[in-house]
Structure 1
């Protein structure tokens, strides 16, 4: 079925049907639903090439993925974010363009993708402090949304982030209320903005409680199970080991738990653990009762929301930058208890 045939069957003009399918606000909601239902029933799909020629848009969103083991973009969390974003793209007739490049070629990859007119917008992953990609994309005048934030950037830009500082401050306060004073932080790479904010929240809670922070209790690296195991093993061998841990991801927490089992230390009784849980589809936090006490926020939902924000920017290029700060929920599981006497 062609667009003209679909329009004729609905006794509407092809222009109205096209605008309804593309979500234009001047077409009322009742008509949009009527057109959408008819298109679905007739298995109608607009010709992508014709649609691009008519609208001047590619209906594609770009994601540049640097190939490196020195930053958090390689974390499996990325897959769930992409799954969430992909749901939004598919629902709105957009496709995803992934460009996998070495670190050194990342800036040129953005320039090439935009110069070719291959995408209508970009999502930026893994922001660092003073991230130069934000200035680059602003200069290139392409719609973009940053998954996370970049401290040090003054100019406004669109971003979606979780409240990392408040999340880890609340988690640290929870452990302090349980009587813990030797609290270790096993963090992600602190060149990454999210990890820097989590560290700031941890330090703020200790300071507010009058508990001096001990640099010997802090570790940072790529968030892997192996890193969690290695860091916890080292920390538990200190002359005055921690009685509690804050972990920046479930992968790290599983490595941490393995280290405690190796040393016959009981999780939740001898040592407490709070982790951040991205609510990943493939890495659940226990069954009915959570294994870990956790600060929880769905990264898949973050992907959906970031994609929605970007598509709104593409539809309305003159709208000001939009921001979204998602709060985490503290879920109490089996991994926390009162500090041992």
Structure 2
């Protein structure tokens, strides 16, 4: 039975029935009891559209993906985040909408979502340095949360992030402690805020140890397996090749291992590798014994938590912006060892 049929059966308007089921005070106790009894009798469960008639909400959350980063749609990191967020939405009676748009149309899409009341809030993915989406969404008055942070943004806004700078400082410091002095960086795109912070942590650890960062063994691009492989082959051909590699993604690290093996070397013996691990559901860093020494933080947990933050902001628009910074767990795997001695 749908809302229209239930309303006809009761001889009431659809709006009155919706408001009764959603606890609006202007509906009398007698009418509310009558509606609830009929809903139970006919096993009626209000749809989001029906609830929207009563509350003025859409009960939907938007995820807008620019075409320039549409690879995220098939990236297991994005998939795990969406799975975690989806669990929270489903539990709270919300639906999720995904929009893939041309980059130049992104602002127009957000404006349309707001004006049409298509969603109650949005999640901002892949924040860039000085990302102008923060100001846009604040001006629109559309509730939002950011998965990550935006350097250069001075106004308060809600976000959840991993402490990327601290994690990469720890990874690099660990290699230095093993005696490595030539340490390469295989990073994500450094226009992205997370990658900028990771490079800062890597460079800080080197400088703290009295080592000079060498741009000739630093690389930045999409974090694919192929990028890890090709970059590793390249840096190992350097006249003074690295004995350690700091990698931004487990996916890229798999390519790094392949590049080391293709060079006739052994990971953890000739070249040590450390990486960030998003604790992906279908791409594990080994079992009880990790393959890679890594900083680990679950992107699925991040999806769950960020979705809850957004729903709280929607429920209480006057609350101060929430911010959450997670420290990554450090795990030691089989990818690292003492720096090889020079004959």
TM-score by length of 1: 0.87
C-alpha offsets along residues 71-122 of structure 1, whole Å, 9 cap, x if unaligned?
Answer: 8676431111111000000000000011111222211111111111100001
Matching of residue 315 in structure 1 with residue 309 in structure 2: no
Q: Which range moved further: 109-118 or 297-306?
A: 109-118
What is the root-mean-square deviation of aligned Cα atoms in Å? Answer: 2.5
Q: 1:263: how far off?
A: 1.0
- Structure 1's unaligned 5+ residue stretches are 5-13, 21-34
1:1-341 equivalence runs, <5 A: 18=22, 45-68=45-68, 75-341=75-341
Q: Which residue of 1 aligns with 2:30?
A: none
User: 1:188, 1:195 within 8 Å by CA — same for their partners in 2?
Assistant: yes
Distance in 1 between residues matched to 2:201 and 2:43, nearest whole Å: 51
Q: 1:68: how far off?
A: 2.0
Q: 1:142: how far off?
A: 1.0
Q: 1:272: how far off?
A: 0.4
Distance in 2 between residues matched to 1:280 and 1:210, nearest whole Å: 35
Distance in 1 between residues matched to 2:20 and 2:69, nearest whole Å: 50
CA 1:271/1:58 → structure 2, altered by over 3 Å: closer, same or farther? same
Q: Which range moved further: 71-80 or 143-152?
A: 71-80
The structure with the largest alpha-carbon Rg is 2
Distance in 1 between residues matched to 2:22 and 2:119, nearest whole Å: 21
- Structure 2's unaligned 5+ residue stretches are 7-17, 25-35
Instruction: Give 3-state SS (helix, strand or coil) of 1:312's partner.
Output: helix
CA 1:305/1:154 → structure 2, altered by over 3 Å: closer, same or farther? same
Q: Which range moved further: 122-131 or 71-80?
A: 71-80
TM-score by length of 2: 0.87
Distance in 2 between residues matched to 1:306 and 1:80, nearest whole Å: 13
